[in-house]
Amino acid sequence: TPPEQIRNFCIIAHIDHGKSTLADRMLQITGVVQPRQMRAQYLDRMDIERERGITIKSQAVRMPWQVLDETVALNMIDTPGHVDFTYEVSRSLAACEGAVLLVDAAQGIEAQTLANLYLAMENDLTIIPVLNKIDLPSAQPEKYAEELAGLIGCEPSDVLKVSGKTGEGVEELLDEIVTQLPAPEGDPDAPARAMIFDSVYDTYRGVVTYVRVVDGNLTPREKIAMMSTKATHELLEIGVISPEPIPSEGLGVGEVGYLITGVKDVRQSKVGDTVTAASAPATRAIGGYKDPKPMVFSGLYPIDGSDYPDLRDALDKLKLNDASLVYEPETSAALGFGFRVGFLGLLHLEICRERLEREFALDLIATQPNVVYDVTMDDGSEIVVTNPSEFPYGKVAEVREPVVKATILVPSEFIGAVMELCQGKRGQMGGMDYLSEDRVELRYTLPLAEIVFDFFDQLKSRTRGYASLDYQDAGDQAADLVKVDILLQGEGVDAFSAIVHKDKAYAYGTMMAGKLKELIPRQQFEVPIQAAIGSRVIARETIRAIRKDVLAKCYGGDISRKRKLIEKQKEGKKRMKNIGSVEVPQEAFIAALSSD
């Protein structure tokens, strides 16, 4: 297809504003999916695909669309759509010339609407503003058209109004995509260059790589090279997705499609990398390629220690699918053998943990997630701390922590509540704007560590669910941070060490000591639980010794009950961990780490 007859676009929206529904309607209206298939089979099959971790529709679908007497190929490119994956989102956007900015006509602009819009603007995309769900009785299209027009600087009448549910306005939207978006530009005679904007692992076909061709063309069976790694592969198959993968005789300038090389490891196919022809390689990569950087670390341990080799296997397999995952073995006195795993963010952590548990049948315990700290010592040396246990004692000149720029959108009645929350989380206000008379955008710089814990839940509960949040990496900042250790009878329990702000050290120490006091059974002797910064104890609790008569009870009763007790104790013994001379059931550690 010549570039003049191609339009590449994506749909960007806040979650639940109707992106998937609108995409489905477009597939149906362009005839790519038949109406009957749509309801009865298509979506069902999609569920299975999703369960297996691959999506056919979502990456890049090609849809024919007739305007006047010309048929145009529309490529709809999906974006991952969450802050943890901002880099991937920006690569998807870089593969397009334009974006449909979708806003729920009953909700108005939300935090991810803004975040996605800014990313699209950074990529110089043409923006088509659209209000969705106009069929809803609660829709206020006039009000929100004005809000949206104000945001992007157009007339309210330029805002299209559609319903992804009923299909109203969708044909007009497709027409507008063709007329408003520029056709892709590139040099057909230059050495081939294609940008990878996504890659997924398919059990049957290996890695499927999604590309947008910028210059030249790629043909089946030729040798291709990845510009960041110089690795070469044979192109086994190349084609477009419409909505099934359809092999083709090649992809030229502006075209979007997939390629398969038989490689089994997604690390060979990095998002943002440039694919070129091995025989006549391009000299310059498309640019923007960046290795994903883990932001949040957590220790993952099997609840049953004998599952450790299975956990290692599972991580290796997951890595095939998710190149951003990093991990290395770690041991903990409290939890045994496990791994320190780096994630792009908390959502990524949750997804990975759930996949490990579901797909590999593992029961896992995760330690409190922590961010990465840069520590400068008095002698000028630098230490990167990904695990609180690596935090150095004494002689620390400066500790820096990652910070983010957060955007929070709320109805104006909640401004006070949000400001109070952000201040409590060590936020610095960057600015505030009214989007309309009753909705406000607040901008804060916040430590990532404060966002990582329960920030979002607190934000939601303080604003009765009305606030939305988005944030972006904003480098790092020096802060007054200390390591709090938790000691049982003078012995440190590594899994509970935490790096916290000085003002919060006492609260963390008393909270953790109190929790452990509840959870650790009494011993034959008194056990002090202390929280300490270095050698300075900041909080203390005591587990009192078992009294004689409590012990005596175990030896009374009838014989079968006694046997049961002994069995139970044996069972219990297997799961005991010794911290110094204190026996702690592993359940106690798990409970202390899991609750809130």
Specify whether the CB–CB gap between 196 and 211 falls below 8 A.
yes
- 458 is an interface residue for Mg ion by CB under 5 A: no
Is the CA virtual torsion 85, 87, 88, 90 positive or negative? positive
Dist. CA 54–CA 48, nearest whole Å: 9
Select 26 or 256, whichever has its Cβ closest to ligand GDP.
26
Dist. CA 358–CA 45, nearest whole Å: 20
What backbone torsions phi and psi does residue 130 show, to the nearest 5 degrees? -140, 135
Select 20 or 489, whichever has its Cβ closest to ligand GDP.
20
135 is in an annotated binding site: yes
Query: Which of 8, 12, 18, 227 forms a contact with ligand GDP (CB under 6 A)?
Result: 18
Q: Percentage helix, strand, coil, to 5, in the chain?
A: 35, 35, 35
**What is the smallest separation between the CB atom of 16 and ligand GDP, expressed in angstroms?**
4
**Angle, in degrees to the nearest 10, between helices 170-180 and 19-29:** 90
Residue number of the CB atom closest to Mg ion? 20
Pick what 135 binds: ligand GDP, Mg ion, none; C-beta below 5 to 8 Å, kind-dependent: ligand GDP
- 108 is an interface residue for ligand GDP by CB under 6 A: no
Specify whether the CB–CB gap between 411 and 466 falls below 8 A.
yes
**What is the smallest separation between the CB atom of 408 and ligand GDP, expressed in angstroms?**
20
321 is in an annotated binding site: no
- 20 is an interface residue for Mg ion by CB under 5 A: yes
* Contact range with Mg ion by CB under 5 A, out of 15-23, 202-210, 236-244, 443-451: 15-23
- 412 is an interface residue for Mg ion by CB under 5 A: no
Specify whether the CB–CB gap between 47 and 114 falls below 8 A.
no
19 is in an annotated binding site: yes
Helix (H/G/I), strand (E/B), else coil: 63: strand
Binding residues for ligand GDP, total number by CB under 6 A: 15
14 is in an annotated binding site: no
**What is the smallest separation between the CB atom of 595 and Mg ion, expressed in angstroms?**
32
DSSP letter for 133, please: -
Contact set for ligand GDP, span 116-135 (CB under 6 A): 132-133, 135
* Contact range with Mg ion by CB under 5 A, out of 13-21, 95-103, 323-331, 576-584: 13-21
**What is the smallest separation between the CB atom of 264 and ligand GDP, expressed in angstroms?**
31
Torsion, Cα of 215, 217, 223, 229 (10° steps):
20
**What is the smallest separation between the CB atom of 476 and ligand GDP, expressed in angstroms?**
32
* Contact range with ligand GDP by CB under 6 A, out of 11-19, 404-412, 535-543, 569-577: 11-19
Structure tokens at 418: 């949000």
Dist. CA 541–CA 516, nearest whole Å: 9
132 is in an annotated binding site: yes
Query: Which conformational region is residue 129 in: left (phi greater than 0), alpha (psi within -120 to 50 degrees), or beta?
Result: beta
Contact string 146-165 vs ligand GDP (x = CB under 6 A): -----------------xxx
Residues 6+ apart with CB under 8 A from 87: 271, 272, 290, 292
Select 46 or 415, whichever has its Cβ closest to ligand GDP.
46
Match 């800014």 to its residue by tokens.
118
Select 80 or 572, whichever has its Cβ closest to Mg ion.
80
- 15 is an interface residue for ligand GDP by CB under 6 A: yes
- 21 is an interface residue for Mg ion by CB under 5 A: no
- 274 is an interface residue for ligand GDP by CB under 6 A: no
Structure tokens at 393: 């004692």
283 is in an annotated binding site: no
116 is in an annotated binding site: no
Please state whether the peptide bond connecting residue 369 to the residue before it is cis, i.e. omega within 30 degrees of 0: no
* Contact range with ligand GDP by CB under 6 A, out of 16-24, 66-74, 110-118, 276-284: 16-24
Specify whether the CB–CB gap between 130 and 163 falls below 8 A.
no
**What is the smallest separation between the CB atom of 407 and ligand GDP, expressed in angstroms?**
19
Query: Which of 21, 180, 248, 458 forms a contact with ligand GDP (CB under 6 A)?
Result: 21
- 13 is an interface residue for ligand GDP by CB under 6 A: yes
Residues 6+ apart with CB under 8 A from 519: 587, 588, 591, 592
Specify whether the CB–CB gap between 586 and 332 falls below 8 A.
no
Is the CA virtual torsion 177, 181, 182, 184 positive or negative? negative
If one counts every other C-beta atom within 10 angstroms of the C-beta of residue 30, the result is: 20
Dist. CA 293–CA 402, nearest whole Å: 12
**What is the smallest separation between the CB atom of 86 and ligand GDP, expressed in angstroms?**
17
**What is the smallest separation between the CB atom of 205 and ligand GDP, expressed in angstroms?**
26
Structure tokens at 179: 């007329």
Binding residues: 16-21, 132-135
Residues that bind ligand GDP (CB under 6 A): 13, 15-21, 132-133, 135-136, 163-165
- Binding-site residues for GTP, in ranges, read 16-21, 132-135
Residues that bind Mg ion (CB under 5 A): 19-20
